A and B are shown apart, each in its own frame.
Chain A
Amino acid sequence: MTFAAAATTAILAATVLLQAAWPARRLVLVASGAALSALVVSLSGVSTTGRLLAGVPWDVLVLLVGLGLVTEVLVASRLFGLLAVRVARATRAAPGLLAFVFVLGMYAVSGVVNNLTALMLLLPVVLILFRLMGVSQRYVTWTLATLLVACNLGGAATPIGDFPAILLLGRGAMEFTEYLVRAAPLTLAALTLLLAAVFGLARPARGLAATPLSARLTVATLSAFHRGVRLDRRALLSGLLPLAGMVAAWLLVPASTGVGPELICWIGAAAALLGAGRLGERLARTRVDVEATLFLLFLFVMVGAVGETGVFRDAARLLAALPLPPTAQVAVFLVSSALLTGVFSAGPSMAALLPVAEVLAADHPPEAIYVGLALSVCAGSSLFLTAATAGPLTQALVERASLRGEDGAPVDLGFFRFAPVGLLGFGVTLAVALVATLARL
């Protein structure tokens, strides 16, 4: 291994570890790591900063920003709050049914918008409902942890739901339809198994005291919170129509036209913002997720620097040299990917592992490898509460909600409380990924 290879790999690993350990400084840490990596490859003559920047998958960033803005237009329509009221009314605030419907809703929503946005849409209203209906620690733990796993599964179900799939789409590793057709049924299978285990065996609402009058009060209060809230039809149409157009174009426009998924997204986002009028201008100026965009940009620079030194090719060669049959090598890759994601989170893991997957895809059906990788990363995202940004965010929101259990004790969602459900979600998703991938080889 050359000095540049060792140094850039060490910088990448150290930065990823440090940002995971010190999330309050994560943007500065990855910015510094990227600058240091660029310095190492420049001084060692392996590459240049210009080449590293040219290698950044800008199309992926365009997809992330564009989808984020379309989501903001949809959020401004107030659709999700009103839907939550409908759900509360339809389920009559029955705790078990409510949890089940919200888990399904989270899966569906996170397939269309990114995971953090999906959580920010649903979690505040879920937490209000929890405060209104009265909950137990057990109910909160199982419901919210399952919600997080469903959020990860929904994100992996479509090519636009979360970063790993967007990366596959943006890099041209897979086409929209190809990914959707292969990944969605698998995530749905994993979700079904998860729901069966959680609601059939664990039963989050077991032992929770509920009375008809308290349930009525819950519904009446939530309805009162939204008594005069009206759907903003213009914002809704401005978001939905371009999104439908984007999905249709992703499905129908062939790559041979030169119109890639990122351009379709760019045009769709522009149409959504234009349609929303002044709201669109305000959203474009204030609601771009600068933190996530810069984080990924710096990450791509670091991964690009490591890639320039040939480390990923060597890693793939090492994997191929393992004294195992090819299917077992793929299984080792998928399990390692899931575990690495559990520690380093989805963004860094996917960015680092995709080059290795590309080498494996030369010898195996590419779509099986890529979808297997996306699902393994999804499994890893569910392993620990800290494995995806959504986990700590949920933890913080639960703390801020000051929930109390039936005994009056504070209710929280910490690392160890999440662990059993996370392990279940990890096991189920990884098992589905392994079975589906190995069956295709």
Chain B
Amino acid sequence: MSFFAPGLEDAFRTAAAELGMCSASRLFVREAASDGPDAVAELSDRLGRPFPVLDAVAAAVLEGAPLRGVDPGEVLATLAGLRRLLVAGFEADFLDALVRALSGEVRVGLVRTAFLEGDWERIADNYAGRLELVEMAAFAGWAGPRSGLLTFLYGVEGAVTHVAPAWLRVAGDDVRPIFRELVGWDVLGRPMSLYPRWLTEVPAGSFTRLA
């Protein structure tokens, strides 16, 4: 007998649209794990191939590595001295932890791109006014010597890493000189073993800092 109802893929896609691929995977794997490893294995069997981030998260749990809380300490260090932080791509678990840890003097913006199908207003409502939604046309206004641009990485393997397509919209060659830091935060912690559908490969060296 199955642990899950038939519409599991649509459910995950809905969750990932508003929480981010990795945060949604963590949520699904955590709930499944409370029913035992067989539930996690079934989840991985059914959703692993279409969603390789979930496959990686489930694989880690099945290998015995528990899902831990998010520690933003390392990325905080890379952001020291910044007054404006613009984020491209979204991961709820990680941005929640980062915004909580950041000083109130740091302005935090989230670039509004067409890649995320979630409810943007609700996404911002979760941050009690700390997170500003920034239109693509206005993102250059966040640039400056004390500004940083951050995105989430899905595993680093040698010289390459994978990011949400939103990153490519903001991180062109003309953008590098106008932000002090281009920070990549590896939220997966391990390379994906399947073809990274939904994501884009970029050189790890295109970031000034990795965390």
A residues whose Cβ falls under 8 Å from a Cβ of B: 78, 81, 124, 128, 131-135, 209-211, 213-214, 216-218, 220-221, 224-230, 403-404, 406-407
Given contacts A224-B19, A404-B10, contact A134 B125 (CB under 8 A): no
CB within 8 Å: A-B pair count: 88
**Is A211 within 8 A of B27, CB to CB?**
no
Q: Given contacts A209-B6, A214-B5, A217-B28, is CB(A225)–CB(B19) below 8 Å?
A: yes
Tell me whether B7 and A221 are in contact (CB under 8 A).
Answer: no
| B5/A211 in contact, CB under 8 A | yes
| A213 engages B128 (CB within 8 Å) | no
Residue contact A220 to B31, C-beta cutoff 8 Å: yes
Q: A227 to B126, alpha carbons, bound, how many Å?
A: 6
Docked Cα-Cα span, A133 to B12, in Å, equals 10
B119 on the A face (CB < 8 A): yes
> B14 contacts which of A132, A209, A211 (Cβ < 8 Å)?
A132
- Complex CA distance for A307 and B117, rounded to whole angstroms: 50
Say whether chain B's binding surface is mostly helix, strand, loop, or mixed: helix
Say yes or no: A228-B15 contact (C-beta < 8 A), given A124-B119, A134-B5, A134-B6: no
Task: Verify B7–A135 contact, CB threshold 8 A.
Answer: yes
User: Which positions 118-134 of chain B face chain A at CB distance < 8 Å?
Assistant: 118-119, 122, 125-128
State how many angstroms separate the Cβ of A156 from the closest Cβ of chain B. 31
Residue of B10, B27, B32, B96 touching A131 (CB-CB under 8 A): B10
Which residues of chain A are near B18, meaning CB under 8 Å?
Answer: 225
* Assembly CA distance A218 to B15 (angstroms): 9
Chain B 129-160 against A: per-residue CB contact (8 Å), 1 yes, 0 no?
A: 00000000000000000000000000000000
Q: How many Å lie between the Cα of A81 and that of B122 in the bound state?
A: 9
Does B14 lie within 8 Å of A213, measured CB to CB? no
Instruction: Please determine whether B125 and A221 come into contact, CB atoms closer than 8 angstroms.
Output: no
CB-defined contacts of B13 to chain A, threshold 8 Å: 131
Q: How far is the CA of A225 from the CA of B125 in the complex (A)?
A: 10
User: Min CB distance, A100 to chain B, in Å?
Assistant: 19
A133 touches B11 (CB 8 A): yes
B 55-85 contacts with A by CB, 8 A: none
Contact (Cβ within 8 A) B122 A225: yes
Q: Which residues of B contact A133 (CB under 8 A)?
A: 5, 7, 11
Which residues on A sit within 8 Å (CB–CB) of B187? Answer: none
13 A–B pairs (Cβ distance < 8 Å), ordered by A: A124-B119, A128-B14, A132-B15, A134-B8, A135-B7, A210-B5, A213-B31, A213-B35, A216-B34, A221-B19, A225-B118, A227-B126, A407-B6
